[in-house]
A and B are shown apart, each in its own frame.
Chain A
């Protein structure tokens, strides 16, 4: 494929490399500021890297390091999500969280953590003695001692949110190039010419939001890297919907130095998840599930909520967080034409909108914001708001476990950002994500998606 042919015609004010949650939020913020934005993604669908597997929580940042960039981005991202979610059709499940101490040592740490929350502007944390804790969460296991409540930790839909951000960017003029890996870049008189596997992109400002590949992309484009990505794997076990009644709060552990630890919480889709693990690895591409680890997660889940013993597992997954040797995010404007947004590890979903605000300031562009920006809404796939199957004309249910309709599937396959892979379709519609994992609906989905995917689910037999 020729590298000299323009993949997206014209000149862009900004090229965002990477369509994870951070890239999608950046595209939205710059498009709303009036920039002409190109988003370049190497996978065939968006959210294919770190953003495909997280714990789907909107954090307040109560436990972030005081004074850190992470804390300010999480706080700003949290505030903006609350402001915009309704307009974009995104769910917000006001579950609240409990930080639960399971040992004397952990109990001793709670006052410090609550003080940290206050310093981070989360002033409504509230200590619960054992009685109050058990009345808030009657299902907690015997080992739970005391807790404190963080009332404004919420659950969101981790895939519809970034999709909505990118959709709004597109509706306000941004363009997306998928299946295009940035192979090289050269500086031009007033910015960059990026070479991708699908042709060139000409942009004034390049923003590296390449997540797990961020350090390597810096090396490729600016010849150096200021950090090293050390992928941290997190494995999760997801329980079937009846398990969701076992806990109403997000149950957070007392964090240790490396990780927030194993969380138990409901999901926006009405399931209950247990995870993540925190396992450092070199591999940036493969997030491998390990039976013994999943069994250990189940066991830990059953200590936290003993009634989980009688619940069925629906799904297992593993994600990679783009951790670095540094604790804080690595967001740097190297010059007026190149900004790196790196090391956005486990809090990316909560912080993305805040990161985008921060990066827009760093960019110091002279832009004229559109007076009347477009506000698209995305289809709701959360269990906590009305679903498509409740409205007539849906064409019938295709995925019985998740009640995904034919109309929902067709919408995801058409429209301004059609999905190109089964993984993408799952994130947009929930198909095959339920308890039967495709037993009933795989064949029909193979037919409905014929001609839409880069790799068909199944070839025609003759």
Chain B
């Protein structure tokens, strides 16, 4: 059992791409401790046993587990201390963090804390899907860890709910374990993700059913069938499992009991362009900020926020007043960062946004009421949209005019 230090310069919560990316940079100039609650460091890519990972970070095409190992190796080589099976249970001003591990409950004091706890998928319960509660209804994350980490097969011919990128990852995971999905079900009229052409052969053979919802899951012990409502009316699909994919939510439970401000729209913390939370001794990066980005994007955010943290440790991070960032247009669901106070060497150089339904229109950025830039968008939920930060500090409005 590793003894946990009682204090460090930077405490990173979460050993996924964002946390490890930041830790590796920070270890050049500070003592860095990463606490990870899973038995192994590496984050979600550990159980994504497929391509494509690593292009941005390692300039080569890697599978998730190899990529995760490479990130961990890099961090350890840089001098980062990584501890696993350590759960954070409380965040306090100070910053002081309470953890539990096999050694019991202890506290760790740090100069800076970086929260990088990632995301999880929305469950069947959150979607209020009707029917019974038999075994065999699982998120993609659980499927992947069963297949890739444990060599197990929870079902043989499941239904896949959702058409986000992760839904295709679910198909690839099934293929790997010789599980044959019998249908892919999407409530909208079009799939959510752009289908990478290279994946087409993998996806082929799984019937895609658009404008379709699951009315009920049936079976007492195990899933036996699902009842779906679609363009052809109500019908029954014989199946033995349901993979409930996507609709990610930040894994932000730690914020709920803490002093840190949370953004209802993203479900993550409120941050400024430096990646600082409402308590400037706390920073956040990666998918905790918003649902959901790629591993490479999260890693790059970690690296960028690490530069802010280095400046903060040196006392050179500006403490300017923070202005609000407001969304105008009901199709806009969230924006990150939510506060804006200074231009220049910020960690986030652009605002990230998402829409909550398919939209076309003009998206403009206004600083203190003056339009600074605009783009035309033709977007759908879960697709990345970014716009530049304005050139001077001011209250910001981001306005969508639909056409």
Specify the chain A residue showing the minimal Cβ separation from B106: A392
**Do B153 and A457 have beta carbons less than 8 Å apart?**
no
8 A Cβ contacts from B74-119 to A: 85, 87, 89, 100-105
A367 within 8 A of B: no
A159-190 with Cβ < 8 A to chain B: none
In the assembled complex, the Cα of A444 lies from the Cα of B152 at a distance in Å of 11
B328 interface residue per 8 A CB criterion: no
Closest to B119 in A: A439
B344 interface contact, C-beta 8 A: no
Contacts known (A391-B104, A396-B102, A400-B37); A436 close to B152, Cβ less than 8 A: no
**Are the C-beta atoms of B125 and A316 separated by less than 8 Å?**
yes
Min CB gap B144→A, angstroms: 8
Q: Given A312-B126, A316-B125: A462 and B132 within 8 A (CB)? A: no
| Among A286, A422, A443, A462, contact of B146 (Cβ-Cβ < 8 Å) | A443
How long is the Cα–Cα vector from A312 to B262 in the complex, in angstroms? 14
Contact B126 A294 (CB under 8 A): no
Also in contact, A400 and B177, with CB within 8 A (given A313-B125, A440-B141): no
Q: Which residue of A lies closest to B123 (CB)?
A: A437
Per a CB cutoff under 8 Å, which of A242, A422, A461 touches B153? Answer: A461
Quick one: given A289-B130, A455-B135, are A435 and B150 in contact (CB under 8 Å)? no
Residue in contact with A461 in the complex, picked from B100, B138, B151, CB distance below 8 Å: B151
B87 touches which one: A294, A317, A389, A461 (CB < 8 A)?
A389
Report chain A residues within 8 Å CB of B104: 390-394
Instruction: For A390, list chain B residues within 8 Å (CB).
Output: 100, 104-105
B139 adjacent to A437 (CB under 8 Å)? yes
Q: Is A410 an interface residue (CB 8 A)?
A: no
Asked whether any CB of chain B lies closer than 8 Å to the CB of A460, the reply is: yes
- Contact at A439–B139, with CB atoms within 8 Å? yes
Q: Are B132 and A289 in contact (CB under 8 A)?
A: yes
- CB contacts (< 8 Å) of B147 on chain A: these are 461
A289 and B128 CA atoms in complex are apart in Å by 8
Q: Does A42 contact B (CB under 8 A)?
A: no
Q: Are A313 and B126 in contact (CB under 8 A)?
A: yes
How many A residues, CB 8 Å from partner?
53
Interface pair B128/A313, CB less than 8 Å apart: yes
Given contacts A395-B102, A455-B221, contact A442 B256 (CB under 8 A): no
Q: Is the CB–CB distance between A314 and B125 below 8 Å?
A: yes
A455 to B220, CA, bound (A): 12
Question: What A residues does B154 contact at CB under 8 A?
Answer: 442, 446, 457-459
Q: Mark B54-77, 1 if CB is under 8 A from A, else 0.
A: 000000000000000000000000
> Beyond A295-B128, A312-B249, is A461–B152 a contact (Cβ under 8 Å)?
yes
Contact of A403 among B100, B124, B215 (CB under 8 A): B100
A442 with B142: in contact, given A392-B104, A422-B135 (CB under 8 Å)?
Answer: yes
- Taking a contact as CB atoms under 8 Å apart, the answer to whether A442 and B85 are in contact is no
Given contacts A289-B132, A439-B141, contact A392 B150 (CB under 8 A): no
B253 touches A435 (CB 8 A): yes
The smallest C-beta distance from A107 to any residue of chain B, in angstroms, reads 32
Judged by a CB distance under 8 angstroms, whether B225 is at the interface is no
The answer to whether B221 and A392 have CB atoms under 8 Å apart is: no
* Contact call A455/B222, Cβ cutoff below 8 A: yes
**Does B146 lie within 8 Å of A458, measured CB to CB?**
yes
A285–B220 CB distance below 8 A: yes
Measured CB to CB, the residues of B under 8 A from A are 37-39, 47, 85, 87, 89, 100-105, 120-121, 123-126, 128-133, 135, 138-139, 141-142, 145-147, 149-155, 177-178, 215-216, 220-222, 249, 251, 253, 256-257, 264
Interface residues of A (CB under 8 A from B): 237-238, 240-242, 285-291, 294-295, 298, 310, 312-317, 389-397, 400-401, 403, 422, 435-440, 442-444, 446-447, 455, 457-462
What would be 26 A-B contacts, judged by CB atoms less than 8 Å apart? Answer: A237-B128, A285-B220, A287-B132, A288-B132, A289-B129, A289-B132, A289-B216, A291-B129, A295-B128, A314-B126, A317-B133, A389-B105, A390-B100, A393-B102, A394-B102, A395-B102, A397-B87, A435-B120, A440-B141, A440-B142, A442-B142, A455-B222, A457-B152, A458-B155, A459-B154, A461-B177
